[in-house]
Protein backbone atom coordinates (compact mmCIF):
# COMPACT_ATOMS: atom_id res chain seq x y z
CA UNK A 1 0.00 0.00 0.00
CA UNK A 2 1.03 3.58 -0.62
CA UNK A 3 0.83 5.97 2.31
CA UNK A 4 -1.62 8.58 1.04
CA UNK A 5 -0.07 11.39 3.08
CA UNK A 6 3.33 10.75 1.50
CA UNK A 7 1.82 10.65 -1.98
CA UNK A 8 -0.21 13.81 -1.29
CA UNK A 9 3.00 15.58 -0.24
CA UNK A 10 4.69 14.45 -3.47
CA UNK A 11 1.73 15.82 -5.45
CA UNK A 12 2.00 19.12 -3.60
CA UNK A 13 5.76 19.28 -4.21
CA UNK A 14 5.83 18.43 -7.92
CA UNK A 15 2.24 18.63 -9.13
CA UNK A 16 -0.33 15.90 -9.65
CA UNK A 17 0.68 14.84 -13.16
CA UNK A 18 4.39 14.54 -12.42
CA UNK A 19 3.68 12.75 -9.13
CA UNK A 20 1.65 10.15 -11.02
CA UNK A 21 4.41 9.76 -13.62
CA UNK A 22 7.02 9.32 -10.90
CA UNK A 23 4.85 6.79 -9.09
CA UNK A 24 4.47 4.86 -12.35
CA UNK A 25 8.26 4.77 -12.77
CA UNK A 26 8.63 3.54 -9.19
CA UNK A 27 6.07 0.77 -9.72
CA UNK A 28 7.64 -0.35 -13.01
CA UNK A 29 11.21 -0.36 -11.71
CA UNK A 30 10.25 -1.90 -8.38
CA UNK A 31 8.42 -4.74 -10.10
CA UNK A 32 11.69 -5.74 -11.74
CA UNK A 33 13.63 -5.33 -8.49
CA UNK A 34 11.16 -7.54 -6.58
CA UNK A 35 11.45 -10.15 -9.33
CA UNK A 36 15.25 -9.98 -9.13
CA UNK A 37 15.18 -10.39 -5.33
CA UNK A 38 13.00 -13.48 -5.72
CA UNK A 39 15.27 -14.96 -8.42
CA UNK A 40 17.42 -17.57 -6.68
CA UNK A 41 20.04 -17.34 -9.44
CA UNK A 42 20.71 -13.71 -8.41
CA UNK A 43 21.56 -14.34 -4.76
CA UNK A 44 24.69 -12.14 -4.96
CA UNK A 45 22.59 -9.05 -5.76
CA UNK A 46 19.83 -9.47 -3.15
CA UNK A 47 21.39 -7.03 -0.67
CA UNK A 48 21.90 -4.28 -3.26
CA UNK A 49 18.44 -4.75 -4.77
CA UNK A 50 16.80 -4.80 -1.33
CA UNK A 51 18.65 -1.60 -0.38
CA UNK A 52 17.48 0.13 -3.56
CA UNK A 53 13.91 -1.06 -3.04
CA UNK A 54 13.93 0.03 0.61
CA UNK A 55 14.99 3.57 -0.24
CA UNK A 56 12.68 4.14 -3.19
CA UNK A 57 9.71 2.53 -1.46
CA UNK A 58 10.00 4.79 1.54
CA UNK A 59 10.27 7.84 -0.74
CA UNK A 60 6.97 6.96 -2.41
CA UNK A 61 5.15 5.94 0.76
CA UNK A 62 5.31 2.17 0.27
CA UNK A 63 6.34 1.85 3.89
CA UNK A 64 5.59 -1.84 4.37
CA UNK A 65 7.56 -2.74 1.26
CA UNK A 66 10.43 -0.59 2.52
CA UNK A 67 10.40 -2.26 5.92
CA UNK A 68 10.41 -5.78 4.48
CA UNK A 69 13.15 -4.83 2.01
CA UNK A 70 15.25 -3.58 4.92
CA UNK A 71 14.90 -6.92 6.70
CA UNK A 72 15.89 -8.74 3.52
CA UNK A 73 18.87 -6.43 3.06
CA UNK A 74 20.17 -7.15 6.57
CA UNK A 75 19.81 -10.92 6.19
CA UNK A 76 21.47 -10.89 2.78
CA UNK A 77 24.37 -8.74 4.03
CA UNK A 78 24.86 -11.27 6.83
CA UNK A 79 24.71 -14.03 4.20
CA UNK A 80 21.79 -15.64 5.98
CA UNK A 81 20.22 -17.29 2.95
CA UNK A 82 17.84 -19.40 4.98
CA UNK A 83 14.17 -20.29 5.30
CA UNK A 84 13.45 -17.01 7.10
CA UNK A 85 14.87 -15.04 4.17
CA UNK A 86 12.76 -17.10 1.78
CA UNK A 87 9.66 -16.29 3.88
CA UNK A 88 10.55 -12.58 3.88
CA UNK A 89 10.86 -12.64 0.11
CA UNK A 90 7.43 -14.26 -0.21
CA UNK A 91 6.01 -11.64 2.16
CA UNK A 92 7.66 -8.92 0.05
CA UNK A 93 6.06 -10.31 -3.11
CA UNK A 94 2.63 -10.37 -1.48
CA UNK A 95 2.96 -6.86 -0.05
CA UNK A 96 4.32 -5.47 -3.30
CA UNK A 97 1.36 -6.96 -5.17
CA UNK A 98 -0.98 -4.98 -2.91
CA UNK A 99 1.19 -1.88 -3.31
CA UNK A 100 1.16 -2.25 -7.08
CA UNK A 101 -2.64 -2.41 -7.15
CA UNK A 102 -2.98 0.57 -4.81
CA UNK A 103 -0.39 2.59 -6.72
CA UNK A 104 -2.12 1.93 -10.02
CA UNK A 105 -5.43 3.02 -8.51
CA UNK A 106 -3.80 6.29 -7.36
CA UNK A 107 -2.42 6.84 -10.86
CA UNK A 108 -5.83 6.15 -12.43
CA UNK A 109 -7.74 8.48 -10.10
CA UNK A 110 -8.73 11.88 -11.40
Alpha carbon of 46 to those of 74, 81, 99: distances in Å?
10, 10, 20
- pLDDT band, very low/low/confident/very high, at 40 (cuts 50, 70, 90): confident
Question: What is the average pLDDT across 34-46?
Answer: 92
Residue range(s) defining the domain that contains residue 39: 4-108
Contact 7, 106 (CB under 8 A): yes
* pTM of the predicted protein model: 0.93
Q: How far apart are CA 36 and CA 19, in angstroms?
A: 26
pLDDT single digits (tens) 59-105:
999 999 999 999 999 999 999 999 999 999 999 999 999 999 999 99
- pLDDT band, very low/low/confident/very high, at 41 (cuts 50, 70, 90): confident
pLDDT single digits (tens) 10-35:
999 999 999 999 999 999 999 999 99
Supply the CATH number for residue 50's domain.
Answer: 1.20.120
Structural domain count of the chain: 1
Query: What are the contacts of 101-110 at 24+ separation with CB within 8 A?
Result: 102/1, 102/2, 103/2, 103/23, 103/24, 103/26, 103/27, 103/60, 103/62, 104/27, 106/2, 106/4, 106/7, 106/20, 106/23, 107/20, 107/23, 107/24, 107/27
Per-residue confidence (pLDDT) for residue 76, from 0 to 100: 94
Amino acid sequence: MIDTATFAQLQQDVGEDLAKQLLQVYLTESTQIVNDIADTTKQATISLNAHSLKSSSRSYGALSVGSIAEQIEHKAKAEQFDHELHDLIETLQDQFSLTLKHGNSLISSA
